[in-house]
Amino acid sequence: MGFVESALLKVPRRLGGGVSRLVRAEVSRVLGEESYSDFAPSLIHGDLHSAHVLVADRTLGIIDWGDSGMGNPETDFLPLYQEFGG
């Protein structure tokens, strides 16, 4: 469960249902705006580096998707870029 989902479950218990509805509406509004991020969120690995990339013959595989989620694909490839240069 992500941070936003976890927070939205805790708000009603701590602040009551009326506040919870306002928080949910505001979260939906902010996350729904194009200006919220300058990239199109995509499925990312979240921990992509050479130890998680397997190559055999002409087949490539990426393992350990435990940190995957929605995010910026450019930052997902940054560790590989730093490791191998560009």
Each residue's pLDDT tens digit, 23-71: 778 777 776 666 666 777 889 999 999 999 999 998 999 999 999 998 8
> Which pLDDT score is estimated for 23?
76
pLDDT band at 83 (very low <50, low <70, confident <90, very high): confident
Question: Same structural domain for residues 54 and 22?
Answer: no
How many helices and strands in the chain, by DSSP H and E? 3, 4
Question: Same structural domain for residues 24 and 54?
Answer: no
| Structure tokens, 59 | 């087949």
Q: Which residue has the tokens 């499925």?
A: 43
The total number of structural domains in the chain stands at 2
Question: Same structural domain for residues 86 and 52?
Answer: yes
Backbone angles phi, psi at 65, to 5 degrees: -95, 25
What DSSP state is assigned to residue 33? S
Which domain covers residue 78, as residue numbers? 39-86
Name which of 50, 47, 72 is nearest 61 in CA terms.
Answer: 50
> Which pLDDT score is estimated for 3?
67
Question: Same structural domain for residues 53 and 29?
Answer: no
Question: Same structural domain for residues 60 and 72?
Answer: yes
Q: What is the pTM assigned to this prediction?
A: 0.54
